[in-house]
Structure 1
Amino acid sequence: GVIVAIGLIVWAVFHFLLAKPEEETDDAYVAGDVIAITARDPGQITAIHADNTQTVKAGQPLLDLDAATADVNLAAAEADLAKAVRATRADFSQVNASGASVVQARASLSAAVADYGRRQGAAAQGAISGEELAHAADAVKVARANLNLAISQQAQSRSAVQGTSTSNNPAVLAAIAAYRRAAIVRSHMHIAAPIDGVVAQRTVQIGQQVAPGTPLMAVVPLNRVWIDANFRETQLKDLRIGQPATVTSDTYGGDVVYHGKVIGVGAGSGNAFALLPPQNASGNWIKIVQRVPVRIALDVRELQRSPLRVGLSVDVTVDTANVSGALLGEPATQAYQGRATDGNDPAVEAKIRQIIAANR
């Protein structure tokens, strides 16, 4: 009895007086991003380059879709671009032709006016008839009308190309946009990994026809996992952002200890964001201690040595001795993004310049 009493006293001293303040929970799990790989355009799967459990790097091929239709559309867009460049070049030539027509019409008007003046003098001397003089006057009116028509045609031809060149003419720009769109669709026939990670949830087979938005597989970046520790609301009093935490997993046991820190506390309890949240204001209810998710970041180097998988169970202990930290997480400052296809592919832009130069 004395030995038991002494043992209890020693335990109480170390547990309540000498032990550092901390909060712990075993209701904690590994969480991480699950990058969805989806089809952006319709097509038929022709090749699968990565399967479940395999590690991929950003930019590594994952899937190929049948590109026959996309190739045809790209060739048609190339032809339309060449046609637009040639049409624009013809418009510039039309400006020069209309200028020559204006010069010719002015010369014809000058000749008609001079002829009419001579015939007026001859008519005054009775050398020509009045009918011939009237014909000369009509010739002046026709020449003046031809000049006005040539000037209008010149203005019309100039309006199509004024302030532009062959490269930035609206018709050419529209054809360039159509070619870029076709090139983007063609690039979607080859699907690459947007980020480093492990392939999971492959749901497609070779020969399957997929529609835009169809989930194909997922890539999980295991070097960027974190812990969602669900602490009871009675444990949140001394929890602060930045407090150190230790994590042990059921996979490795106590042989591997991860070190991390608290980076955020959930905005509500799990029940608040459930599919069917409780309605405690109606009917009978029983008060239950709620749990709030606390996010804990892990050391990347430790994850590389002993990788964790999403969904694994862990035990978390947070050192709450230092309560000077913030109660709310830091504001978002950096975007988390992977590699995606855009319309500024250098190869596509070089091809566009080549088509314009060949048809200019």
Structure 2
Amino acid sequence: MADADPAALHEFRAEQAKPNTLRKKLLGGIAGAVLLIGAGYGGWYALVGSHHIGTDNAYVGADTASVTPMIAAQVLNVRVADTQAVRKGDILVQLDDSDARIALAQAEADMATARRQYGQATATSAALASQVEARGADITSARAQLDAAQAAYEKARLDLTRRQKLAPNGAVSGDELSSAVNAFASARANLELARAAIAQASSTRGAASGQLAANNALISGTTASTAPEVLAAQARVAQAKLELERTLIRAPIDGVITRRNVQIGQRVAPGTPLMLIVPVGQLYVDANFKEGQLTRVKIGQPVTLTSDLYGGDVEYHGRVVGLSGGTGSSFALIPAQNATGNWIKVVQRLPVRVALDPRELQAHPLRVGLSMDAEIDVSAN
């Protein structure tokens, strides 16, 4: 090597140093890129990322309406099928209305009877009032008869007294005295009869007055439309009409039929679940966020969502409307019993209710149970 050309040796060493230089440049470039990416991510997180929290554990939900009958009857017709869209008020199921129609006819007959009975009570009051007046006239007549009997009695008494005084002198015959005694007895009997007639007439008038008062108490302050019996009959008619209307089961809300489990000919009882109606225009999302993400979540904050059904090209916009009262595991059928020695900590998730924009739902319909990605802007108040 001592005899080697210095120029060649220098050139050899330069060639050996080139890979090290390239490696250093490459490592320096990678380090710079990493620093640049880290700085960019740090800036993005500080300006944007720290103000948003997201989860892919979110699902579409809805407050479904359960369709149940209010009366017991046989199913005559089912007008809808699963997946069919219905509007509020549409007829879903028709029940046999024979019993309901008979009950309505009976109630209407009872109401007619109640109205007639009220009319009879009114007429009875008029008749009783006439009887009271007639008994008053009877009392007046009986009093006149009493006056006549009293006068006859006094006359007979005087005649008898006068003849009894003359009898010892022989001025009055025995037959005449006997006639006077008989006349006096007859007058006294007629007087007692007249007094009894007054008492009887007074009693009869009192009975008629009592009947009139009792009858007036039933109809006083009422009319043919406000009498209690008529009102009760009207209530039975209204109830019968309601039962008849309930033979047609209608949709309580707009939505889509699901879980229809009623068939023609089936006899249903009140409260039997017939089907469900899902209000696809009033859906919401339950987004399950980790407990550490909820520090700054507040009601009213905007939420951006995407669905696995449409992908990222379709965005939904909603707002936080509430946070659940407990985690999903706490309301499970068999809740976790961590107090029994379960020392493994599991990050819990809390459902956050997000209301969706109905106009966006109409443009891109969703269904209950579909998966969603949700991102909350926690910087908004």
Please report the TM-score for the alignment, with normalisation by the length of structure 2.
0.82
Q: 1:122 maps to which residue?
A: 152
Is 2:111 the counterpart of 1:81? Answer: yes
Where structure 1 has 5 or more consecutive residues not aligned to the other structure, the ranges are: 326-360
Q: Is the 8 A contact 2:305 2:375 kept in 1?
A: yes
The aligned runs of 1:264-303 (5 Å cut-off) are: 264-303=322-361
Cα offset, 1:228, TM superposition: 0.2
Q: Which whole-Å CA distance do the structure 2 matches of 1:58 and 1:11 have between them?
A: 56
Q: Is the 8 A contact 2:114 2:229 kept in 1?
A: yes
Paired residue for 1:263, among 280, 300, 321?
Answer: 321
- Secondary structure of residue in 2 paired with 1:130: helix
Identity %: 42
Residues 72-118 of structure 1: CA distance to partner in whole angstroms, max 9, x if unpaired?
Answer: 11111111111111111111111111111110111111111111112
Cα offset, 1:54, TM superposition: 1.0
Q: 1:18 maps to which residue?
A: 44
The aligned runs of 1:80-159 (5 Å cut-off) are: 80-126=110-156, 128-159=186-217
Q: 1:4 to 1:304 in 2, by over 3 A?
A: farther
Q: Which whole-Å CA distance do the structure 1 matches of 2:368 and 2:359 have between them?
A: 17
Cα offset, 1:163, TM superposition: 1.1
Larger Rg: 2
Q: Which whole-Å CA distance do the structure 2 matches of 1:89 and 1:3 have between them?
A: 109
Where structure 2 has 5 or more consecutive residues not aligned to the other structure, the ranges are: 1-26, 157-182
Q: Is the 8 A contact 2:327 2:350 kept in 1?
A: yes
Q: Is the 8 A contact 2:306 2:314 kept in 1?
A: yes
Q: 1:168 maps to which residue?
A: 226
Q: Which whole-Å CA distance do the structure 2 matches of 1:307 and 1:7 have between them?
A: 44
Q: Which whole-Å CA distance do the structure 2 matches of 1:235 and 1:141 have between them?
A: 100
Q: What is the one-letter code of the residue matched to 2:58?
A: A
Paired residue for 1:27, among 57, 67, 70?
Answer: 57
Q: 1:180 to 1:133 in 2, by over 3 A?
A: same
Cα offset, 1:6, TM superposition: 4.2
Runs of 4+ in 1 over 3 A off after TM superposition: 1-11
Paired residue for 2:297, among 218, 234, 239?
Answer: 239
State the Cα RMSD in Å: 1.4
Q: Which whole-Å CA distance do the structure 2 matches of 1:190 and 1:104 have between them?
A: 60
Aligned positions, number:
323
Q: 1:284 to 1:259 in 2, by over 3 A?
A: closer
Q: Is the 8 A contact 2:149 2:187 kept in 1?
A: no
Residues 313-352 of structure 1: CA distance to partner in whole angstroms, max 9, x if unpaired?
Answer: 0000111123xx3xxxxxxxxxxxxxxxxxxxxxxxxxxx
Q: Which whole-Å CA distance do the structure 1 matches of 2:246 and 2:36 have between them?
A: 68
Residues 224-243 of structure 1: CA distance to partner in whole angstroms, max 9, x if unpaired?
Answer: 10110000001001211221
- Secondary structure of residue in 2 paired with 1:222: coil
- Secondary structure of residue in 1 paired with 2:152: helix
Q: 1:246 to 1:47 in 2, by over 3 A?
A: same
